[in-house]
């Protein structure tokens, strides 16, 4: 039943003299919702960047669905079904909301460069399917009504949601969410977490969630990996993590006195 | 063998001039990530500043160290003021604009300088004043050490030592290094970023002025389009050494000058100007970050 | 296909009107306007829609011009009505040659940071120009004389003029260029271009092969630059490497920037402006006695970037702005 979808083996990322992530091992089972937590600067986003090909790990390997993916380009990894959102929101700001979503599915629209010029039947059909799909995804997140807005003009919370919709549009098996609730208030966060649970069901997704707010992750994650200073200090169920002295120490610091 | 040594001397002399120009490109790139297209025309204006100072003071035909010094001063001041003005009026309003816009502006400034110069100075070449007596200082028979080459080397070495002192031993130099590391953080730490950028343009531009006088001394013909080719070569030298790296610019300049001299000596002079682009393409394919450049990691 | 065809036919009616109302100098300017429209729209694909920066558009135009011109000298008879068939074919071949050159230049340089493309294309333009100067087969520095071009077509007393045939060919490619770019940009391919412009890292993470997208845009852009070159070669009957210097590349950049990066109709309007500018500035030039065209140009470029960084029309199409204006005023 619990089959490993993604596995990171002794991942290390070195920037100059600094080891941002040091020999990290972890895995994510298919269908799981796993949390990756740690104080600020623990190296969480660096892990995402290594998994999704933005950074080339200094050493180590990433295995996705049994295939090594280290060294592949980000778009190749995305097309294999591993996609992500960005902590610092990287929407295509001057494009409309629906265009943002359409870009993400563009590798699924298989037609030649000249097909749109002659408006072939194949082109029109694939294109209307793409629009239909994009509208459906936007609808789930309540953004369908704003599909023609310029994405940069959306309110902050909706920009975060659009990041998730866009990632979903690539047709992923696994999605890495980088602090999706950052900057949201309690109610918005709650609402977002329900949405994440919903899409996980609907698209049978595996989710890896970065969050530095521990309380949030405890509620929804099945398993948690805790990073501190680039090193894994704990992993296990929320109960295990919550009661781990190492985690408490990392989050609260140790009173030397 | 003696031939080779002679070419080595000539190439080093030419290369040190390229290095001066390359430093200007690399400094501005290091701080603003901008290819300052106008740099080559600032260089051209430096030559004309020196030329008109010589006309004004009647120095056209009085070679000597004093003439060299005053022409250098004129070119450095002229270029500094121009560089300052370009930064202030063309680049600063665009500090937060997309890179493409700044690049287009740089091209606009370059064209503006070239064509205004053609109108103001006339398109015909002018004869640069005689700066130093061209004599053979040391004669080893086949190998000659000429006064002009020695002067070029002495001046560039002085300039580079001064630059080194400026950047590593002074407060403004420290600020420059901080800004090129991270502009936002530097400004939060109380560095006056605008002032540092202006200062970078002043330094880079005055080095171009020095280069202009040295070139005028060796090849005494100046015209409004004289910057184009040397500008491209200086830029290629900067890329070759690793753009953003000061030692890289010097190394790149020397390599550029030496290889050009050798190509002309042992192959054919028709390849001279193709060399720069040939080198550029080879670097871009095999080592885009240059010889001494660091591979940039974009922050995500 | 109906819309482009009707557009073309409608514009041909304008051509017939121009045939009877305009003198030959203005007609020539009109052809040059059309050529610049193709140059501007095609460069907009790279600089405007894909957010890369090419400074060597004239080089690709030169490749198309010389290939097409050289091929045409191999055929003995291209006069009269034959031209309506042969010149589009020649243009296509010139365009393909330029596209191939675009592929060779684009593949290594487009992998790199944006500003490298500017330098490489600048260098490429210069290399092409210098190579042509040293090619005796196409005239070298002397220029390439006697290139066959459209001629008057005598249909037993009823004559279709050289201008009209040339106009038809140029207009055909303007319409083709417009609709090809217009429709490609509104497809998955074009959305990939736009995403590269907006945020390359995010585009990659969303499954867009950004290098491929950039190379595609660049090759398509070079193709149309080659077409423009071919039209130019056969209408002028003469080519000189000096016509394809840095200034022509800059002309194309100015058309894109002035019209708005990402606005095709903007490029059309700007092409008219840039082509006629030297003529409009002629009185000023006579007044001051020197060629101030480039000074005015460069000042425009700088001021535009500072005051209206997205060009006159931004990334909007002209009619969108008109619609907005009408809505506001009514």
Q: Collect all residues from C whose CB is shorter than 8 A from any CB in A.
A: 1, 179-180, 183-184, 186-192, 194-195, 198-199, 201-210, 216, 220, 315
Q: Does residue A151 lie within any of the structural domains?
A: yes
In this structure, the answer to whether residues A127 and A182 fall within a common structural domain is no
Q: Does residue A132 lie within any of the structural domains?
A: yes
Q: Which residues of chain A does C203 touch, with a Cβ-Cβ cutoff of 8 Å?
A: 75, 92, 103
Give the domain extent around A242: 1-81+171-257
In this structure, the answer to whether residues A7 and A75 fall within a common structural domain is yes
Task: Classify residue C207 as exposed, middle or buried by CB count within 10 Å of its CB (0-12, 13-18, 19+).
Answer: buried
pLDDT at residue A178, as a whole number: 92
Contacts of A89 (CB under 8 A, 6+ apart): A159, A160, A163
Residue A257 has pLDDT above 50, yes or no: no
**By percentage, how much of chain C surpasses pLDDT 70?**
96
Q: If you average pLDDT over residues C28-55, what whole number do you get?
A: 94
Angle between helices C293-307 and C246-259 (to 10 degrees): 40
Q: Which residues of chain C does A109 touch, with a Cβ-Cβ cutoff of 8 Å?
A: 187-188
How many CB pairs below 8 A link B and C? 99
Cβ contact C302–B94 (<8 Å): no
**By percentage, how much of chain A surpasses pLDDT 90?**
59
Mean of the per-residue pLDDT values of chain B: 88
- Output C313 or B93, whichever has higher pLDDT: B93
Q: Which residues of chain A does B297 touch, with a Cβ-Cβ cutoff of 8 Å?
A: 15, 55
Q: Which residues of chain A does C192 touch, with a Cβ-Cβ cutoff of 8 Å?
A: 103, 106
Q: Does residue A86 lie within any of the structural domains?
A: no
> Is residue B109 less than 8 Å (CB to CB) from chain C?
yes
pLDDT at residue A256, as a whole number: 42
In this structure, the answer to whether residues A51 and A155 fall within a common structural domain is no
Q: How far is B102 from chain C (nearest CA, A)?
A: 8
Q: How many residues does chain B have?
A: 300
Q: Which residues of chain A does C183 touch, with a Cβ-Cβ cutoff of 8 Å?
A: 116-117, 119
Q: How far is B50 from chain C (nearest CA, A)?
A: 24
Cβ contact B300–A49 (<8 Å): yes
CA distance C153 to C165: 8
Q: Does residue A88 lie within any of the structural domains?
A: no
> Is residue A54 less than 8 Å (CB to CB) from chain B?
yes
pLDDT at residue B62, as a whole number: 80
CA distance B165 to A204: 63
Question: Can you tell me whether residue C108 is helix, strand or coil?
Answer: helix
In this structure, the answer to whether residues A161 and A176 fall within a common structural domain is no
pLDDT at residue C330, as a whole number: 67
Mean of the per-residue pLDDT values of chain A: 89
Q: Does residue A13 lie within any of the structural domains?
A: yes
Q: Which residues of chain B does C305 touch, with a Cβ-Cβ cutoff of 8 Å?
A: 94, 97, 101-102, 104-105, 108
In order of B19, B69, B208, B258, the CA distances from B159 in angstroms are 11, 13, 11, 20
Q: If you average pLDDT over residues B175-204, what whole number do you get?
A: 89
Most confident range (mean pLDDT) of A178-192, B248-262, C135-149 is B248-262
Cβ contact B297–A86 (<8 Å): no
Q: Tens of pLDDT along B60-101?
A: 778 888 889 999 999 999 999 999 999 999 999 988 887 778
Q: Which residues of chain C does A74 touch, with a Cβ-Cβ cutoff of 8 Å?
A: 201, 204-205
State the DSSP H helix or E strand holding residue B136, giving kind and residue range, or none if neither.
Answer: strand B136-139
Q: Would you say B204 and B191 are in contact if contact means Cβ atoms under 8 Å apart?
A: no
The number of angstroms, rounded, from the C-alpha of A131 to the middle of its chain's C-alpha atoms is 23
Residues 41 to 70 of C: which have CB under 8 A from any B CB? 47, 51, 53, 55
Across the interface, of A78, A90, A113, the residue whose CB is closest to C199 is A90
Q: Tens of pLDDT along C195-222?
A: 999 999 999 999 999 999 999 999 999 9
In this structure, the answer to whether residues A55 and A181 fall within a common structural domain is yes
pLDDT at residue C209, as a whole number: 94
3-class secondary structure for chain A? CCCEEEEEEEEEEEECCEEEEEEEEEEEECCCEEEEECCCCCCHHHHHHHHCCCCCCCEEEEEECCEECCCCCHHHHHHCCEEECCCCCCCCCCCEHHHHHHHHCHHHCCCCCCHHHHCCHHHHHHHHHHHHHHHHHHHHCCCHHHCCCEHHHCCHHHHHHHHHHHHHCCCCCEEEEECCCCCCCHHHHHHHHHHHHHHHHHCCCEEEEEECCHHHHHHHCCEEEEEECCEEEEEECHHHHHCCHHHHHHHHCCCCC
| pLDDT bracket for residue A253 (50, 70, 90) | low
Cβ contact C108–B116 (<8 Å): no
Cβ contact B300–A86 (<8 Å): yes
> Is residue B100 less than 8 Å (CB to CB) from chain A?
no
Number of domains in chain A: 2
**By percentage, how much of chain C surpasses pLDDT 90?**
45
Chains in contact with B, counting 3 or more C-beta pairs less than 8 Å apart as contact: A, C
Q: Which residues of chain A does C195 touch, with a Cβ-Cβ cutoff of 8 Å?
A: 92, 95, 103
Quick one: how many helices (H) and strands (E) in chain B? 11, 4
Q: Would you say B158 and B18 are in contact if contact means Cβ atoms under 8 Å apart?
A: no
CA distance A169 to A250: 37
State the DSSP H helix or E strand holding residue B118, giving kind and residue range, or none if neither.
Answer: helix B99-121
Question: Can you tell me whether residue C302 is helix, strand or coil?
Answer: helix
pTM of the model: 0.87
State the DSSP H helix or E strand holding residue B55, giving kind and residue range, or none if neither.
Answer: helix B39-57
Chains in contact with C, counting 3 or more C-beta pairs less than 8 Å apart as contact: A, B
pLDDT at residue C76, as a whole number: 60
Q: Collect all residues from A whose CB is shorter than 8 A from any CB in C.
A: 52-54, 73-75, 78-79, 83-84, 86, 90-95, 99, 102-107, 109, 111, 113, 115-119, 123, 127, 130, 166-167, 169-170
Across the interface, of B109, B284, B298, the residue whose CB is closest to C112 is B284
Q: Where are the alpha helices (DSSP H) in B219-300?
A: 227-241, 246-266, 272-286
Q: Tens of pLDDT along A110-143?
A: 888 889 999 999 999 999 999 999 999 999 999 9
- Output A39 or A68, whichever has higher pLDDT: A68
For the ranges A148-152, C62-66, C290-294, the lowest mean pLDDT is seen at: C290-294
Q: How far is A257 from chain B (nearest CA, A)?
A: 32
Angle between helices C114-133 and B99-121 (to 10 degrees): 40
Cβ contact A92–C194 (<8 Å): yes
Question: Can you tell me whether residue C158 is helix, strand or coil?
Answer: strand
For the ranges A189-198, C148-157, C224-233, C264-273, the lowest mean pLDDT is seen at: C148-157
Q: Would you say C169 and C103 are in contact if contact means Cβ atoms under 8 Å apart?
A: no
- Give me the phi and psi of A109, to 5 degrees please: -85, 100
Q: Where are the domains of chain C?
A: 2-245
- CB count within 10 Å of CB C328 equals 7
Contacts of B218 (CB under 8 A, 6+ apart): B13, B17, B148, B152
In this structure, the answer to whether residues A250 and A186 fall within a common structural domain is yes
Q: Does residue A145 lie within any of the structural domains?
A: yes
Q: Are strands A33-37 and A223-228 parallel, antiparallel or unpaired?
A: parallel
Q: How far is C295 from chain B (nearest CA, A)?
A: 5
Task: Classify residue C3 as exposed, middle or buried by CB count within 10 Å of its CB (0-12, 13-18, 19+).
Answer: exposed
Q: Which residues of chain A does C217 touch, with a Cβ-Cβ cutoff of 8 Å?
A: none
Q: How far is A54 from chain B (nearest CA, A)?
A: 8
Mean of the per-residue pLDDT values of chain C: 88
Across the interface, of C120, C130, C309, the residue whose CB is closest to B284 is C120
Q: Tens of pLDDT along B201-240?
A: 999 999 999 999 999 998 889 999 899 888 888 988 998 8
Residue C115 has pLDDT above 80, yes or no: no
pLDDT at residue C85, as a whole number: 79
Most confident range (mean pLDDT) of A202-206, B102-106, C35-39, C80-84 is C35-39
In this structure, the answer to whether residues A179 and A164 fall within a common structural domain is no
Q: Tens of pLDDT along B26-58?
A: 999 988 888 898 999 999 999 999 999 999 988
For the ranges A215-219, A238-242, B176-180, the lowest mean pLDDT is seen at: A215-219
**By percentage, how much of chain A surpasses pLDDT 70?**
97
pLDDT at residue A69, as a whole number: 93
Q: Would you say B143 and B9 are in contact if contact means Cβ atoms under 8 Å apart?
A: yes
Q: Which residues of chain B does C51 touch, with a Cβ-Cβ cutoff of 8 Å?
A: 100
B63: closest CA among B144, B157, B148? B148
In order of A69, A82, A157, A180, B222, the CA distances from A207 in angstroms are 18, 10, 20, 12, 67
Question: Can you tell me whether residue B130 is helix, strand or coil?
Answer: coil
> Is residue B182 less than 8 Å (CB to CB) from chain C?
no
pLDDT at residue C49, as a whole number: 94
> Is residue B297 less than 8 Å (CB to CB) from chain A?
yes
> Is residue B116 less than 8 Å (CB to CB) from chain C?
yes
Across the interface, of C114, C123, C257, the residue whose CB is closest to B280 is C123
ipTM for the predicted complex comes to 0.91
Chains in contact with A, counting 3 or more C-beta pairs less than 8 Å apart as contact: B, C
Q: Are strands A67-68 and A82-84 parallel, antiparallel or unpaired?
A: unpaired
In this structure, the answer to whether residues A14 and A122 fall within a common structural domain is no
Q: How far is A109 from chain C (nearest CA, A)?
A: 7
> Is residue B105 less than 8 Å (CB to CB) from chain C?
yes
- Output C282 or B36, whichever has higher pLDDT: B36
Residue A101 has pLDDT above 70, yes or no: yes
In order of B98, C64, C126, the CA distances from C246 in angstroms are 23, 17, 8
Q: Where are the domains of chain B?
A: 2-226
Q: Where are the alpha helices (DSSP H) in chain C?
A: 2-21, 24-44, 57-73, 82-109, 114-133, 162-185, 188-198, 200-205, 210-236, 246-259, 264-280, 282-288, 293-307, 318-329
How many CB pairs below 8 A link A and C? 105
3-class secondary structure for A187-218? HHHHHHHHHHHHHHHHCCCEEEEEECCHHHHH
């Amino acid at each position: 039943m619990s089959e490993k979808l993604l596995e990171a083996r002794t991942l290390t990322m070195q920037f100059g003299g600094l080891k941002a992530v040091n020999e990290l091992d972890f895995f994510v089972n298919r269908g799981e919702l796993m949390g990756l937590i740690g104080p600020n600067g623990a190296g969480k986003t660096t892990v995402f960047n290594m998994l999704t090909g933005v950074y080339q790990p200094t050493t180590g390997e990433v295995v996705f669905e049994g295939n090594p993916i280290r060294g592949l380009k980000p778009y190749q990894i995305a097309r294999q079904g591993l996609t992500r959102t960005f902590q610092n929101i990287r929407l295509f700001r001057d494009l409309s909301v629906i265009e943002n979503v359409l870009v993400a599915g563009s590798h699924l629209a298989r037609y030649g460069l000249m097909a749109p010029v002659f408006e072939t039947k194949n082109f029109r059909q694939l294109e209307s399917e793409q629009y239909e799909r994009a509208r459906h995804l936007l609808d789930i997140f309540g953004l369908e009504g704003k599909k023609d807005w310029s994405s940069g003009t959306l309110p902050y919370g909706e920009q975060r949601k659009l990041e998730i919709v866009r990632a979903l549009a690539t047709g992923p098996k696994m999605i890495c969410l980088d602090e999706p609730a950052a900057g949201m208030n309690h109610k918005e966060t709650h609402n977002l977490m329900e949405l994440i649970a919903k899409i996980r069901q609907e698209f049978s997704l595996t989710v890896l969630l970065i969050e530095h707010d521990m309380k949030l992750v405890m509620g929804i994650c099945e398993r948690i990996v805790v990073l501190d200073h680039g090193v894994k200090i704990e992993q296990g169920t929320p109960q295990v993590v919550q009661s781990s002295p190492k985690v408490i120490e990392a989050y609260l610091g140790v009173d030397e006195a | 063998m003696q031939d080779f040594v002679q070419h080595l001397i000539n190439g080093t002399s030419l290369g040190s001039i390229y290095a001066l120009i390359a430093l200007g490109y690399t400094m501005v790139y290091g701080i603003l990530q901008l290819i300052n297209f106008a740099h080559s025309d600032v260089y051209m204006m430096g030559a004309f500043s020196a030329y008109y100072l010589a006309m004004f003071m009647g120095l056209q035909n009085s070679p000597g160290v004093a003439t060299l010094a005053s022409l250098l001063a004129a070119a450095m001041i002229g270029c500094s003021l121009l560089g300052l003005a370009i930064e202030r009026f063309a680049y600063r309003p665009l500090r937060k604009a997309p890179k493409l816009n700044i690049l287009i502006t740089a091209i606009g400034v370059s064209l503006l300088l070239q064509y205004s110069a053609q109108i103001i100075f006339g398109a015909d070449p002018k004869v640069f004043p005689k700066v130093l007596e061209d004599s053979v200082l040391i004669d080893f028979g086949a190998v000659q050490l000429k006064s002009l080459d020695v002067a070029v080397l002495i001046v560039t070495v002085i300039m580079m030592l001064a630059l080194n002192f400026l950047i590593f031993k002074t407060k403004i130099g420290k600020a420059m290094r901080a800004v090129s590391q991270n502009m936002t953080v530097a400004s939060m730490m109380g560095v006056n970023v605008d002032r540092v950028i202006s200062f970078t343009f002043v330094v880079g531009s005055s080095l171009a002025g020095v280069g202009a006088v040295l070139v005028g001394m060796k090849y005494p013909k100046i015209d409004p389009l004289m910057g184009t080719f040397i500008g491209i070569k200086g830029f290629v030298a900067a890329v070759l050494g690793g753009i953003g790296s000061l030692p890289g610019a010097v190394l790149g300049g020397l390599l550029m000058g030496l290889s050009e001299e050798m190509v002309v000596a042992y192959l054919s002079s028709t390849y001279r100007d193709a060399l720069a682009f040939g080198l550029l393409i080879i670097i871009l394919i095999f080592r885009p970050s240059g010889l001494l450049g660091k591979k940039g990691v974009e922050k995500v | 296909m109906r819309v482009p065809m009707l557009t073309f036919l409608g514009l041909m009616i304008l051509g017939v009107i121009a045939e009877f109302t305009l003198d030959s100098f203005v007609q020539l300017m009109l052809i040059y306007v059309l050529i610049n429209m193709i140059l501007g729209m095609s460069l907009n694909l790279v600089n405007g829609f894909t957010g890369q920066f090419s400074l060597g558009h004239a080089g690709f135009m030169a490749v198309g011009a010389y290939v097409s011109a050289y091929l045409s000298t191999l055929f003995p008879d291209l006069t009269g009505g034959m031209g309506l068939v042969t010149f589009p074919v020649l243009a296509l071949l010139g365009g393909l040659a330029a596209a191939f050159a675009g592929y060779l230049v684009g593949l290594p340089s487009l992998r790199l940071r944006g500003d490298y493309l500017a330098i490489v294309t600048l260098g490429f333009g210069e290399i092409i120009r210098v190579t042509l100067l040293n090619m005796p087969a196409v005239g070298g520095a002397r220029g390439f004389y006697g290139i066959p071009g459209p001629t008057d077509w005598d249909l037993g007393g009823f004559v279709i003029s050289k201008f009209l045939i040339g106009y038809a060919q140029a207009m055909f490619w303007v319409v083709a260029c417009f609709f090809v770019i217009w429709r490609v940009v509104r497809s998955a391919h074009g959305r990939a271009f736009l995403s590269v412009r907006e945020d390359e890292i995010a585009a990659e993470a969303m499954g867009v092969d950004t290098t491929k997208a950039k190379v595609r845009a660049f090759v398509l852009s070079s193709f149309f630059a080659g077409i423009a070159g071919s039209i130019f070669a056969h209408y002028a009957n003469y080519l000189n490497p000096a016509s394809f210097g840095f200034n022509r590349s800059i002309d194309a950049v100015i058309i894109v920037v002035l019209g708005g990066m990402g606005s095709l109709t903007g490029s059309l309007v700007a092409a008219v402006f840039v082509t006629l500018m030297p003529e409009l500035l002629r009185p000023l030039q006579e007044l001051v006695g020197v060629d101030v065209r480039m000074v005015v140009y460069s000042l425009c470029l700088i001021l535009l970037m500072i005051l209206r960084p997205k060009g006159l029309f931004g990334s909007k199409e002209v009619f969108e702005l008109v619609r907005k204006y009408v809505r506001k005023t009514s």
